[in-house]
Amino acid sequence: MDYDDELGASVWDDQNNDSNVRDGGELATTFATLSAGKGDQLEHSEWNDDAGIKPQAEPIESEGDKKDLMLSLAPEEDPLTGLSVPEPMVTSEKGETLFGDVNTSPLEVSENDSQKSTTTEEVSPLRKPYAKPQKLFSSARLRRHPLTEVQKADLFEDPLASNSADIKEDEFVEESLEYDGAPEESKDILQQMEAPLFKISPRKNLSSTPSIKKVVQNAGANSQFDVASMEAVEINTPCSNYTIEVVDPLKVGDLTFAHVEYTICSKSEKLNPPEVRVQRRYRDFRWLYRQLQNNHWGKIIPPPPEKQAVGRFKDDFIESRKLQMERMLNKIAQDKDLQDDADFMMFLQSQNFGQDSKVREHLTGSNASSDSNDISEIHISAIELLGQEDAVNVMKNGGLDESQKGFMNISFASLPKYTESDTFFVEQKQAIDILEEQLKQLCKSLEIVDTQRNDLASVTEEFANTIKSLEELEVSKKGSEILVNFADVHLRIKESLQRSTMQEALTLGVTIDEYMRSLGSIRAVFNQRSKLGYYAVVVEHDLLKKRTQLERNNHKGPSDKVEALNKDSRVLEDRHYKIKTKWQEIGATIRKELRRNDFDKMVDFRNSIEIFLESSIETQKECIELWETFYQNNL
């Protein structure tokens, strides 16, 4: 059996060596021995310290090896994510090892080989059985989600393997400790025993996480990044392969029904023909917003621009709206959950949007086209909440809270009220109110600055013209020459002022505007939660009422009424459970979303501030240059 194993191993090695020889030759192997001999720990720390130096130190290495190395190092953040997420994830990653083994020649085997060559032969037999079980484990683990008997079975097989791991690869043990601290799950001795195994596979795993991410993670681990932003980084990895452009705003229709249609060009692998052009109007964007809101409760949907009644057909308004809508679509496309949304896909592709949107709306009960002005207002679809059948019943009765409204919509009983139990949400809500106030203030002052700057520009022009008219008197040659140039400088400064004002509006203004609108979206999310909470309370109230009725009737003995009541209360219970879980779900989503949103906004803000700053520095330089030139030439 050993022999067989050796044969198998050598076959692997041969392949590997071949590739090595082809690419890098001996160096690669020596490096492999080095890495194996010194141990991963060293290597690991080195990478942590200066990720930049290593790759430079070994450019001689073949690219293949490098990649392997990178990849072998890259997953080092994977165990973190993997372990922070419950077990099953880890096992599935183990499955990847298998793949790696099969598809590419993994470092793992070559290392084993090199170790084999360096260490004594007595050890190698110990090692080989280990190398094989490892594969077995991983394949087994793929099947095994619950950690019960199978695990124990593993243990029985393990002793040798674990011993060998302890002897030769203590560094793994150390790391296992390190990792154990994080998940706090594997305090079990059994699991600790297993831990090294866990480490081996993900470490040498050929998972395909981008190396940049790893650097970020490392930096984070070293300099104690706050957890929130780290998670946000994870959340934030852009996974968009969409390119969406909103172009060609076109005024359509006659005087009474005039509206502007925008053409949306989207390119993506996910779309059926990978390139689509469709016409949409503003109303459709709002529909999309509502629909997405309905489909993803608790998610902060990138909001569409505000409604505007007057001046809808002005060019600069259309232009800015176009920009805002494009941003909205791109934001949606970048979101992992939203980009695959059926309605979004439909929005991007459907040539018969009017019909399709109606159909979808009816199916989901989103009520998306009856759209109020306020982004933060929401509609909770009963279908989404309770499922198809129950929702039909509820709708028939006129909605969930209908029972509370008595005859002629006058309620006699005091309405149950929903109070937010979680202080987190209360605080967040307050914070958002404050933030909105501040942003409004900021926006207002920015707007004022904008208009004032435009005034300034026009007055500067007047000023320059007056100077020019003084020049036209031609009192003296030199004087009038200076005056001409003086006026010219002012005109140029006016231009640059206008440009910088526009730039400011486009960067800071747009960002703040978007931030404000997204606050509306956040508010909508809170509204969803409180509405759901309200429903839960209402249904609970109903349920209690039904139960007391039931009890009263139970005393009288079994009858049709009791049965009906029983059924009702069961339905209500069911409903209550559903709503309650949804309510809890939404709470969790909101927390996550808020964190993500905060991070996104922060990044947006930072970006726009940076752009703003850079552009104003450039403007400033231009201004200085203008004056210096004037000074040099004339004075």
Partner 1 sequence: MASAVAYDPYDDIDNNPFSEPRETTTIPQESGAHETDDPSETSTPTVQHENPQSDEMSLELVPERKANKFQLVVKVTGLERIGTFTNKKENPTLKFDVSTNLPTFRKPQHRNIKKTMTEFQNLFTFLNGSIPETFVPALPVAHTNYGISNSEDYYKTVKNFQEWFDRIAADPLILRSEEIAFFIESDFNTYTPVGKSKLPVSGLKRKTLKQLTPPFDECLELAEFRPLVKSIRHLSQDIQLKLLKLSKLRKSVSQDENAVGKGFKEMAQDPSQTQSHSKFYIKFGKTLTAVGDIDSVMATLDVATLYDGLEWIAQDTYVVKESLTNRHFLMRDLLQAQQNSRFRQEQARKLRAKRDVSPLKVDDAIRALKVATTTEHELTLKLRRITANMLLQKREWLEWYDKTLINSIKEYTVRKIEYERKKLSLLERIRSDVRAVDEAGGLSRLGRGTGVVRDGSTATKPSQSAQGDSWTNDRRSRAFEPSVLKTEFDASLENEQGVDEITEDQYTLDARSAAHLLGSSSF
For residue 278, what are the β-bridge partners?
Answer: 264
The residue from 467, 519, 565, 572 that contacts partner 1 (CB under 8 A) is 467
Any contact of residue 495 with partner 1 (CB under 8 A)? no
Q: Find the binding residues for partner 1 in span 378-437 (CB under 8 A).
A: 428, 431, 434-435
Does 216 engage in binding with partner 1 (CB under 8 A)? yes
Tokens of 423: 């202080």
Contact between 598 and partner 1 per CB under 8 A: yes
Stretch that binds partner 1, among 4-12, 182-190, 320-328, 445-453 (CB under 8 A): 445-453
Which residues inside 218-237 make contact with partner 1, applying CB under 8 A?
Answer: 226, 228-229
DSSP secondary structure of 300-362 = -PPPPPPP--TTTT-HHHHHHHHHHHHHHHHHHHHSTTTTT-HHHHHHHH-SSHHHHHHHHHH
Determine the size of the site formed for partner 1 (CB under 8 A). Answer: 59
The binder of partner 1 chosen from 85, 239, 475, 544 (CB under 8 A): 475
| 606 belongs to the binding site for partner 1 (CB under 8 A) | yes
For CA atoms 43, 49, 51, 54, give the dihedral sign.
negative
Is 368 buried (19+), middle (13-18) or exposed (0-12) by CB count in 10 A?
Answer: buried
Closest CB 81 distance from partner 1, rounded Å = 20
Stretch that binds partner 1, among 87-95, 151-159, 418-426, 443-451 (CB under 8 A): 443-451
* 452 sits near partner 1 (criterion: CB under 8 A): yes
Q: Which of 57, 160, 250, 613 binds partner 1 (CB under 8 A)?
A: 613
Among 237, 421, 476, 581, binds partner 1 (CB under 8 A): 476
Interhelix angle 63-73/26-38, nearest 10 degrees:
20
Q: Which helix (H) or strand (E) holds 260?
A: strand 259-267
Using the rule CB under 8 A, give the single segment among 26-34, 178-186, 397-405, 599-607 that binds partner 1: 599-607
Select from 129-137, 250-258, 396-404, 602-610 the region that touches partner 1 (CB under 8 A): 602-610
Q: Which of 60, 459, 544, 588 binds partner 1 (CB under 8 A)?
A: 459
> Long-range contacts for 603-609 (Cβ within 8 Å, ≥24 apart)?
603/236, 604/511, 604/514, 604/515, 605/511, 605/515, 607/511, 608/507, 608/508, 608/510, 608/511, 609/507, 609/508
User: Per CB under 8 A, does 609 bind partner 1?
Assistant: yes
Cα–Cα distance measured from residue 392 to residue 386, given in angstroms and rounded to the nearest whole number: 9
Instruction: Assess 337 for contact with partner 1 (CB under 8 A).
Output: no
The amino acid at residue 485 is N
In angstroms, what is the minimal distance from the CB of 445 to partner 1?
Answer: 4
* 627 in contact with partner 1 (CB under 8 A): yes
Distance CA 579, CA 400 (A): 11
Helix axes 63-73, 40-49, angle to 10 degrees: 90
What phi-psi label fits residue 306: left (phi over 0), alpha (psi between -120 and 50 degrees) or beta?
A: beta
Task: Classify residue 529 as exposed, middle or buried by CB count within 10 Å of its CB (0-12, 13-18, 19+).
Answer: buried
Contact window for partner 1 (CB under 8 A) among 79-87, 375-383, 447-455, 570-578: 447-455
- Least distance in Å: CB of 598 to partner 1? 6
Nearest distance from C-beta of residue 389 to partner 1, angstroms: 42
Q: For residue 493, with 0-12 CB atoms within 10 Å meaning exposed, 13-18 middle and 19 or more buried, which class applies?
A: buried
CA–CA separation, 379 and 292 (whole Å): 12
Kindly tell me which residue out of 89, 126, 442, 506 binds partner 1, with binding defined by CB under 8 A.
442
> Based on CB atoms, which residue is closest to partner 1, 467 or 565?
467
Q: Which of 588, 586, 575, 587 is nearest to 536 (CA)?
A: 575
Rule CB under 8 A: which residues touch partner 1? 52, 216, 226, 228-229, 428, 431, 434-435, 438-439, 441-442, 445-446, 448-449, 452-453, 455-456, 459-460, 462-463, 466-467, 469-470, 473, 475-476, 478-479, 482-483, 486, 598, 602-603, 606-607, 609-610, 613-614, 616-617, 620-621, 623-625, 627-628, 630-632, 635
